[in-house]
């Protein structure tokens, strides 16, 4: 079985889209694949409750629990790896996981860890992507699925979805349309990967 581990921090809307696609397209039988774990960095993540209600195995590795460690980031990521690795993941999917991972962790999952970013990379890495696109006068925005690398939002691009920027757009309206595109893109990219 190809195990998929999904990492979230908040509402988990991309996680939900992936799980729903997995169920509707019967990934278990078609690709011998399933979502083996939904892991949250925030114990209050709304997506965690949804995953539990839908019968998915869940775990929490709260980054705040390690703030008094000599090296909080290392302690958090060490626990993250110890929680993920027993599932022998074919794919680790970052779906609104709001932690920047160290080079050590990204190397550990090299070629197995995907992320989705709400811009047309390489443009607008990091945060506030929608407002930055509006401020720059861009005609298009979008989302990018990429392999996670040591450098933030710089891994090899797998696929992108383009969303036109309307003259009536503000940050909120643009972000909602990009998020809808993300939901379609990410689940489809994962499915294409599972076919290989």
List pLDDT tens digits, range 171-183: 999 999 999 999 9
Taking the C-alpha atoms of residue 120 and residue 141, their distance in angstroms, rounded to an integer, is 6
Superfamily of domain 2-195: Formyl transferase, N-terminal domain (3.40.50.170)
Work out the number of other CB atoms within 10 angstroms of the CB of residue 196: 5
Residue 53 belongs to what H/E stretch? helix 46-53
Mean pLDDT of 150-174: 97
Every domain of the chain and the residues it spans: 2-195
Strands 157-164 and 140-147: antiparallel
Catalytic member of 63, 117, 130, 183 = 117
Q: Tell me if residue 16 falls in helix, strand or coil.
A: helix
Taking the C-alpha atoms of residue 193 and residue 173, their distance in angstroms, rounded to an integer, is 31
pLDDT > 90: percent of the chain: 99
List pLDDT tens digits, range 130-151: 999 999 999 999 999 999 999 9
Cα–Cα nearest to 163, from 191, 190, 187, 134: 134
Active site residue 74: no
Contact 141, 165 (CB under 8 A): yes
Predicted confidence at residue 162, as pLDDT, reads 98
Q: What distance, in Å, lies between the first and last C-alpha atoms of the chain?
A: 14
The residue written with tokens 């979230």 in the block is: 8
List pLDDT tens digits, range 28-84: 999 999 999 999 999 999 999 999 999 999 999 999 999 999 999 999 999 999 999
Q: How confident is the model at residue 1 (pLDDT cuts 50, 70, 90)?
A: very high
Predicted confidence at residue 170, as pLDDT, reads 97
Mean pLDDT of the chain: 97
């Amino acid at each position: 079985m190809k195990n998929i581990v999904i990492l979230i921090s908040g509402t988990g809307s991309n996680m939900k889209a992936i799980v729903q696609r997995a169920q509707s397209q019967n990934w278990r039988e078609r690709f011998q694949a399933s979502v083996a774990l939904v892991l949250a960095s925030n114990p209050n993540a709304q997506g965690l409750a949804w995953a539990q209600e839908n019968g998915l195995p869940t775990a929490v590795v709260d980054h705040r629990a390690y703030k008094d460690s000599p090296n909080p980031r290392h302690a958090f990521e060490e626990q993250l790896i110890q929680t993920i690795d027993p599932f022998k993941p074919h794919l680790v999917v970052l779906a609104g996981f709001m932690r920047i991972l160290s080079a050590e962790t990204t190397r550990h999952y090299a070629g197995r860890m995907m992320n989705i970013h709400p811009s047309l990379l390489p443009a607008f890495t990091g945060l506030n992507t929608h407002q930055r696109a509006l401020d720059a006068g861009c005609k298009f925005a979008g989302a990018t699925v990429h392999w996670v690398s040591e450098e933030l939002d710089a891994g090899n691009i797998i696929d992108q979805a383009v969303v036109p920027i309307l003259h009536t757009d503000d940050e909120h309206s643009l972000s909602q349309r990009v998020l809808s595109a993300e939901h379609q893109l990410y689940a489809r990219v994962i499915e294409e990967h599972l076919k290989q």
